[in-house]
Chain A
């Protein structure tokens, strides 16, 4: 039962994220926009480029979707409303996000096109910049919860949200989450205006539809992960728990989607340099700080 509910919630949330993305990128709010463009994509021919790597080309869109769904499966929407509360939930979230890179690399390599390939390899480089900034802040979150269960992570924040308890980790994880979903200013693999949609360039019709759907679902899942790990998950007054999760998740997604309007696209070299020279030392400081605070509190 909870599986059906979670899937329905994800579907609804993805739609809202798609509407928000359209709003953030065009400045016009069109509630029926994703439905119309989705139907239009289904109606168009889905071309297969000449001499593709057929397996990679076909596997990439569903793999992106599956990676996002798997991450969502271990994140609670409300007490009891979770697909599976894995004992290694916090680690599993990270594991499934790692396969986003595999999907994007496949989408870049598969079509045998120059723009797509450059985009795919750019994302590979981007992973090297962001992946430590996903796992190290999660480590500090798990330290406070003394568990890898995502439900335990939420209940550990009953008195104080992690966003306030470890603001450094929150900021790093938030930026890394944006880099996973290649949202602007981290949209290097698609880079509209410079790389002509990069990894998405060779996809058309329903395959592009699956790709776009997977991307929107990924944004939602990342926003949900930020909510669960840092914003107290379902906790909140008056409203029912699921409503708080939904509100917080959509608010996080809205912020993620709107930042790109005000910041220019970063250079690949800068993302890598900043990730390693500033991000990782700061993440280590965060782990150390959380450790000291936990010991003092004991």
Chain B
């Protein structure tokens, strides 16, 4: 019961901060609201006793949002983001896309066969061990492919960004 309450609470917090992302007029507030939205998802993982995923989410999102904030500040018209700006654009298209996304997520959540609910969870140390084995054995190809794809994208982005030497 307590677990459900906490999961729901952090879920609501994640949605609320997600709303704040678009309601604010400051890039920095928007980035930090997104960070707290993602951190709330990390807290949901912790409430659901998946310790490794929760801590990883909390750690990665802080760093990732920082890097995102740097790029946002770099590409903004006003230095440092001191001027206010609207966080929304293409409002009608986004409304439709958002509504469709929400419906799709609800349909999946309600109609998917989730199987029996787990009543016992392996200990946290066992989870870390099992996850490591999973990543290094069965799912190794998936993770390696994803890693190489991201690396390629990073190199390509850098190559595009570098000004050609004359």
List A residues at the B interface (Cβ < 8 Å).
53, 56, 86-88, 91-92, 94-95, 98-99, 101-102, 105-106, 109, 117-118, 121, 124-125, 127-128, 131, 147-149
Contact = CB atoms under 8 A, between A and B. Distances in A.
Given A56-B32, A95-B59, A106-B32, 16 more contacts: A86-B51, A87-B125, A88-B51, A91-B52, A91-B55, A91-B56, A91-B59, A95-B55, A95-B58, A95-B62, A98-B58, A98-B59, A101-B66, A102-B66, A124-B66, A128-B66
B69 interface: yes
Nearest to A127: B66
Contact of B52 (A53, A87, A94, A106): A87
7 contacts: A56-B32, A86-B51, A87-B127, A87-B128, A109-B29, A127-B63, A149-B125
Interface in B13-59: 26, 28-29, 32, 35, 51-52, 55-56, 58-59
Contacts of A86: 51, 55, 124
Contacts of A124: 66, 69-70
Contacts of A91: 52, 55-56, 59
A109 B32 CA distance: 11
A176 B43 CA distance: 27
Interface in B67-119: 67, 69-70, 73, 80, 82
B121 interface: no
Contacts, number: 69
B62 A105 contact: no
A118 B81 CA distance: 11
B32 A105 contact: yes
Contacts of B162: none
Given A117-B80, A121-B73, A88 B128 contact: yes
A128 B59 contact: no
A95 B123 CA distance: 21
Given A88-B55, A121-B80, A98 B69 contact: no
Contacts of B63: 98, 101, 127, 131
Nearest to B62: A98
Contacts of A147: 125
Given A92-B55, A95-B59, A148 B128 contact: yes
A298 B147 CA distance: 29
Contacts of B52: 87-88, 91
Contacts of A95: 55-56, 58-59, 62
Report, nearest first, the 5 A-B pairs whose CB atoms are least far apart.
A87-B124, A95-B59, A98-B62, A87-B125, A88-B55
A128 B62 CA distance: 11
A188 B82 CA distance: 21
Which of A88, A124, A128 has the largest number of chain B CB atoms within 10 A? A88
